[in-house]
Amino acid sequence: MDPFPKEGEGAAAAEPSRGAAPSSGVVVQVREKKGPLRAAIPYMPFPVAVICLFLNTFVPGLGTFVSAFTVLCGARTDLPDRHMCCVFWLNIAAALIQILTAIVMVGWIMSIFWGMDMVILASKYS
């Protein structure tokens, strides 16, 4: 028997022991791992998140800059072990990255996605 299947033969032909039985109910959990900048996005009220998205769309980084101040007002983030000032400066750094790289469109796109993440977080946890 040829150890490699010929062209046109599927994996089922190469492995006769594998049957066409239905799969057993295996549950797979997917958890998103966020970096420190992404985890520093604050959970804001929905209207504030929409305003930040609007600002990020037309002036890259401005909505992210505004969202940094919501951290100082008590908005929570996915970085509970970090101090409020550290999370504030992480958001300021993200805003500066967006502003400085907007010239080559990378910052503008990043800024719009950042605003969309703000709205998604606000709609999930309000």
Name the domain count of the chain. 1
- CB-CB contact of 55 with 67 (8 Å): no
Q: Tens digit of pLDDT per residue, the chain (126 long)? A: 555 555 555 544 445 555 555 667 888 888 777 788 899 999 999 999 999 999 999 999 999 999 999 999 988 998 888 888 999 999 999 999 999 999 999 999 999 999 999 999 999 886
- CB-CB contact of 64 with 95 (8 Å): yes
* Domain span including residue 96: 44-125
Residue 90 placed within a domain: yes
Residue type, 2: D
pTM: predicted TM-score of the whole model, two decimal places: 0.72
Residue 32 placed within a domain: no
